[in-house]
Amino acid sequence: MDQATITRFLTAMGDEARLQIAMLLLEKGPLNVGDIAGHFRLSRPTISHHLKVLKDARIVQSEKRAQEIFYRVDIAYVAGQLRELADLLSDCAPNG
């Protein structure tokens, strides 16, 4: 896990709206922008921006179905990143 990856991951998950979007996707499964926007007081363009940040950080994946794009959390990637970060922190802990 390199510093750029850690920064991108933590920056994406450090925003309250993005964390709420990720939690919604975990709870509800794949949703499109309209479905996601229906759960927030944010505009569709703002939701789209947050999804782009999450996608760039590989936290969410997208799949085009007909005319819509559906988003879901990449659980395996997120869990792996969190494990790597925890391991990195454990390795830095003092032995005493």
pTM of the model: 0.89
| Domain encompassing residue 82 | 3-92
Tokens of 95: 């032995």
pLDDT, tens digit, 9 for 90 and up, residues 72-81 = 999 999 999 9
The span from the CA of 46 to the CA of 90, in Å, is: 37
Residue 25 makes CB contacts below 8 A (sequence gap 6+) with: 31, 36, 60, 71, 72, 73
Instruction: Determine the pLDDT at residue 60.
Output: 98
Q: What is the CATH number of the domain that holds 49?
A: 1.10.10.10
Instruction: Determine the pLDDT at residue 96.
Output: 46
Identify the helix (H) or strand (E) that includes residue 12. helix 3-13
In single-letter form, the type of residue at position 46 comes to T
Write out residues in the chain with pLDDT < 70, as ranges. Answer: 95-96
Residue 69: strand pairing partners: 64
Instruction: Determine the pLDDT at residue 2.
Output: 85
| Domain count within the chain | 1
